[in-house]
Structure 1
Amino acid sequence: MSASSTTAVLCLASASPRRRELLASIGVEVEVRPVDIDETPGDAESAAVYVARLARQKASAGARFSSLPVLGSDTAVVCDGVILGKPDDRQHAAAMLRTLSGRRHRVMTAVAVSGPAGMLEACVTTEVVMRDIAEHEIAAYWDTGEPADKAGGYAIQGLAAVFIERIEGSHSAVVGLPLFETATLLTRQGVPLWNRLGR
């Protein structure tokens, strides 16, 4: 569902409810216009380059359908240099959680905003340390339905919070949008913050 065009100050080129909620938390009302792009990593493409490219492509694609500034973003979970995307099925999710269990990994989130100032972008890396996860916990977690559409097979803001020993960096970036950097980009594009708070 899209926000009313009379109140929206930004176009969100994503169907992610988490990104919409994060933007709402800083008072930014959006119109939601998901875009369909090929998200296959390029040969030998690093995770940082990959997420930055997808964020730009989403913002550029969204700009074709909206007169508002457009935000695109992408998040990748990276362990041992391998990008862990959304799980294909239960077995895939379990394999990813076994890989992350008891270890440190990185979450990279890129954000790009197309608008009057051109294409502005930022990329944030957060270090995440997971405790050891037992097999029965992996199975029970899949059964909740939460991991099915999450990069790396987990949601830090959800039930998987009990698996997270600590993070170093931006919590909101792991959820899906680095709010400090995003607010800076939006301000440079003339997008007002806090405009829906307290009403």
Structure 2
Amino acid sequence: MSIRLNKDIILLNPLGNCEELLAKLQLPFSVIHQEMPIDCALPTNPFEFANSTVVVKLLRMQKPHPSLCYMNVKRVVSLNGIILRLPHTRNEAISFFRRLSNHKHRVTTAVGIRYDDQLSSFVVQSDVMMHRLSEKIIAQYVETGEPFEQDVGYNIMGVGQNLVKRIDGSKYNVAGLPLDVLRTFLTDKKIIAVGKEEQVHGN
């Protein structure tokens, strides 16, 4: 199978494992960083919050070029429908994992693209069941620094995979980017074209 780019992809303000995962699609892309503060009220529902965030940020881009495809990703982790604040200190991280321990939480990812003066987005949600985490395990994981490097507070592509008991839904979504849905989305929007590789036979 071969993939052809119809528009150059620009990844806007990537976090966590987003760049590494997008590279798995074997699509060339560039990265840019822009400050785009959100000063409007957003929904509190995780699905609507994530989607509204990518839409607002893409609309507020500075001088987007019409021939390019800009992509923004927003992820949130929620417990019983309440979005959890990401930890920024050691004590916050310990409290964060105490809440997740032996509970099911949800990872919600919104992906938006802006191209040809159009804007489209999709949202993927996955449920994650954590192991029962002892105080020792929590403290050891916090010391790895991973909770402060990820946009959902842990990294299942790293040491954090040992915290997870089960995933209901897309593992890639929990890791940072729902690749299968993204490939279909980009194909449907004609940002990429997917075709079978031609086989050349000798005489």
TM-score, reference length from structure 1: 0.84
Distance in 1 between the 2:155 and 2:57 partners? 22
How far has the Cα of 1:40 moved from its partner?
Answer: 7.8
- Counterpart in the other structure of 1:46: 45
Residue 15 of structure 2: aligned partner? 16
Aligned residues with identical type, % of pairs = 28
C-alpha root-mean-square deviation of aligned residues, in Å?
Answer: 2.4
**RCO (CA 8 Å, sep 6+): is it higher in 1 or 2?**
2
Q: For the structure 1 residues 13 and 132, does the alpha-carbon distance in structure 2 shift closer, same or farther, using more than 3 Å as the test?
A: same
Match of 1:162 in 2: 162
Once the two structures are overlaid, the 10-residue window that deviates more, 53-62 or 143-152, is: 53-62
Q: CA 1:51 to 1:180, structure 2 compared with 1: closer, same or farther past 3 Å?
A: same
Please state how far the C-alpha of 1:194 moved relative to its aligned partner. 7.8
Contact 2:16–2:149 (Cα < 8 Å) also in 1: no
Q: Which residue of 2 aligns with 1:5?
A: none
Pairing 1:5-154 to 2, within 5 Å after superposition: 9-16=8-15, 18-38=17-37, 42=41, 45-62=44-61, 64-66=63-65, 67-116=67-116, 118-154=118-154
Structure with the larger helix share: 1
Shift of 1:149: 2.9
User: Which one-letter code corresponds to 2:131 in the other structure?
Assistant: R
How big is each residue's C-alpha offset from its partner over 1:105-164, in whole Å with a ceiling of 9 and x where there is no partner?
Answer: 111001111113821111011010001011111111111111113234211221010111
Q: Is the 8 A contact 1:41 1:50 kept in 2?
A: no
Question: Would the alpha carbon gap of residues 183 and 130 (structure 1) be closer, same or farther in structure 2, given more than 3 Å must change?
Answer: same
Give distance in 1, aligned partners of 2:172 and 2:101: 21
Equivalences, count = 188
Please identify which structure carries the higher strand content.
2
State the 1:59 CA deviation.
2.8
Unaligned runs of 5+ in 2: 1-6, 196-203
Specify whether residues 106 and 17 from structure 1 end up closer, same or farther in structure 2 by C-alpha distance, changes over 3 A only.
closer
In 2, Cα distance between the equivalents of 1:14 and 1:194?
A: 26
Report which of the two structures shows the higher radius of gyration computed on alpha carbons: 2
